A and B are shown apart, each in its own frame.
Chain A
Amino acid sequence: MLVVLVGIVILHLTEIIILIISTSVNAWRMAGARSYDLWYDCQTINGGYNCLGAHDADWLQAVQALMVLATLFCMLSFIFFLCQLFTLAKGGRFLFTAVFQVLSSLFVMSGAIIYTVMSPDEHNAEHSYGYAFVLAWLAFPLTLISGFIYIILRKKE
């Protein structure tokens, strides 16, 4: 039981870290020395940064909001997990934790999908998706799996 508990806690903390990095680091797309989205459009020139605000399209703002909400809900579900760990009766299920975790995974999924669909096609050879984008897509199945684990998990002692 302790092993399972430690494993779940580590998984949840990993997800929180992944979501925080993906939301706050400005590296959803890269084009050579230029990294842009989610918040800024920055170029590294001669060792210094030259940044503009990101293109304020409607869909980009929606993605920003969804990523922030996903991070928030993941953190909230971790807090509820710790609460429920001590207050739940024996045999009880961590349903509130699960609800928040599943919601967080839905938000991250929506954000990643909207970004993927709406970001303009760049046929430039140098364009590539950055690591923050990859982390966002990675966060979705992780949070979903951990949400399902919380649904099934029962408190034993």
Chain B
Amino acid sequence: MSSLLPLVRNETIKVWKKKRFFVVILVLLVLIPVFTYAQMKVALNNRDKFDDWRLQLQQKITDYQNQLSSDRIPEEWKQSRRIAVQQLQYYLDHDVNPDSPNAVTFSRSFVEASITMFIPLLVLAVASDLVSGERSTGTIKMLLTRPVRRWKILLSKLIALTLYVSLTLLATIILSYLISGIFFGYGGWTLPVFTGFVIQGSEVDSSAVHAVPQWYYLFMSAGLTWLSAMTIACLALMVSVLVRSTAASIVTMMAAIIAGSILTNMASSWHTAKYIFSVNLDLTNYLAGSPPPIEGMSLLFSVSVLAVWAVAAIIVSFSVFTKQDMLN
């Protein structure tokens, strides 16, 4: 174990020196103001049209109800609308504004919205060239000629990756809080958020619904987001071991993630799709009580699927990496 810590240190500093993490920060610094601006436009528009958020919420409910009466809308879609109506009604009945504009609400919804695409993309920026990058530059040979077992080298890379996944998520939350706070104010930590909606068919069972302060909700969604980000990180590490070039490794992972999000949006009747990892990434859905993309999915199911994929990826990467010939 004593020989592992210097290796982790080495890997961590290597990623830092390669400025991968700066890219992540830069992307966040550009994109978060864009989203904040869009959000502010929406808020201004709503303030213009509605004096009171309750009236706005009621209008939203009525609009959803009107959509339900149209025959052109597919049944799965109607079902999710029906559920949304019941949840919004619950908020209205308890006089709680589900999207009051403040920095914490923004950060919370930003994390929730980016769990399937944006966070994985940022993770890929660090993870994808962890091994393949060293191979294309040839430094992998230097690393492997040291008197250290190969599995230790890969393990140190995995640990460093874990650290950077956490840092990426932390940076996302902090930056979105700081930037959106300029426009929306920095309050909102203690606002109540409802969680615990249980969905049965198109009915919402609200007997287990309870209010939690928003900071606690953000804390929980961050934890769930971290788990999906880690799954992506493990898979990206595997691809990076298997594929020679960094570009190929990023493209492979992106293709898998985008395919998953397309499948999710299709409200698929193809039930076995639920075993694909990228369909299961949206763990915060379960916290908000949105209907799962495919029937029969639950939090436990999704977490297990993600865990199986992550563990399989780790096993593959270790067994390949320890036996692979490093030719170049």
A and B part of one assembly: no
